Amino acid sequence: GAVVSQHPSWVICKSGTSVKIECRSLDFQATTMFWYRQFPKQSLMLMATSNEGSKATYEQGVEKDKFLINHASLTLSTLTVTSAHPEDSSFYICSAVVSGTNYGYTFGSGTRLTVV
Amino acid sequence: AQSVAQPEDQVNVAEGNPLTVKCTYSVSGNPYLFWYVQYPNRGLQFLLKYITGDNLVKGSYGFEAEFNKSQTSFHLKKPSALVSDSALYFCAVRATLSGAGSYQLTFGKGTKLSVIP
């Protein structure tokens, strides 16, 4: 089945540094990728939608300059958390629309970001 | 705007007993409905979906859900719960309408299922 590989699984970084999270579609072309943020014991909050070759569409309240999304190819989308602060610590999950699967979606395994 | 309500933060059930996790939705037009399961520090795993056709949908690991249009519900059920079913369950909806944002899933807040041995 369609698989999205998300890396890293977890990362610890110092305040002020940047962290890049990658999501790769392994056996299909991900035209559209969604990026979610999940706080402990809470639901998934959609941060942005990225389409290959175009600028990402950010949800209201999400800082575009802080959460940089790049979707330069059909198999790779990245989320870069710039100048990270402790309040950015969270669980980040990507998800791709899988064409030809009757409205299927596949999710990455998530990245636990801790900013110290 | 579309929305999903999962009224129970937590559901406790004894192993071997039937389980139900509730979900109601609000969407313009006909809904596409999904159930996902999440284990700690992991992504979401697909359980089942309703797109069209039979209201009773059977999915992975013995789970099933019934689409009820009049009650705008899509409750998740399993006849006999296993301890390994203990996890966080999310209901999600997508509108069938086309246009910007039409692919977006809207998730409920999640229900923690605990199956007691």
Q: What is the DSSP string of B53-92?
A: S-SEEE-GGG-EEEEETTTTEEEEEESS--GGG-EEEEEE
Q: Which of A43, A106, A110 sits opposite B42 (nearest CB)?
A: A110
Closest CA to A108 of B42, B64, B97: B42
Cα nearest neighbour of B37 on chain A: A107
- Verify whether the Cβ–Cβ distance B49 to A103 is below 8 Å: yes
Residues in A touching B105 (Cβ below 8 Å): 34, 95, 105
- Residue B103 in this model has a pLDDT that exceeds 80: no
Q: Is any Cβ of chain B less than 8 angstroms from the Cβ of A18?
A: no
Q: Which of A51-65, B28-42, B48-62, B90-104 has the lowest mean pLDDT?
A: B90-104
**CA distance linking residue B97 with residue B29, whole number of Å:** 7
Closest CA to A2 of A80, A97, A110: A97
> What's the rounded mean pLDDT across residues B42-60?
91
> What's the rounded mean pLDDT across residues B104-112?
92
> What's the rounded mean pLDDT across residues A85-98?
93
Name the pLDDT band for A101 (thresholds 50, 70, 90): low
- Verify whether the Cβ–Cβ distance B32 to A103 is below 8 Å: yes
Q: Mean pLDDT in chain A?
A: 91
- Verify whether the Cβ–Cβ distance B41 to A91 is below 8 Å: yes
> What's the rounded mean pLDDT across residues A38-58?
88
> What's the rounded mean pLDDT across residues A40-54?
87
Residue B102 is predicted with a pLDDT of 61
Closest CA to A4 of A50, A47, A38, A43: A50
Residue A115 is predicted with a pLDDT of 97
Q: How far from chain centre, in Å, is Cα B28?
A: 19
Distant-in-sequence, close-in-space partners of A54: CB < 8 Å, separation ≥ 6: A71
How far B57 CA sits from the closest chain A CA (Å)? 14
Q: Mean pLDDT in chain B?
A: 91
Q: Which of A14-23, A50-59, A79-88 has the lowest mean pLDDT?
A: A50-59
Residue A33 is predicted with a pLDDT of 92
**CB–CB of A85/A15 below 8 Å?**
yes
- Verify whether the Cβ–Cβ distance A110 to B36 is below 8 Å: no
Q: Which long-range contacts (CB under 8 A, 24 or more apart) does A73-76 make?
A: A74/A25, A74/A29, A74/A30, A74/A31, A75/A24, A75/A25, A75/A26, A75/A29, A75/A30, A76/A22, A76/A23, A76/A24, A76/A25
Instruction: Report percent pLDDT > 90 for chain A.
Output: 71
Name the pLDDT band for A25 (thresholds 50, 70, 90): very high
Instruction: Report residue B36 as tokens.
Output: 């996902």
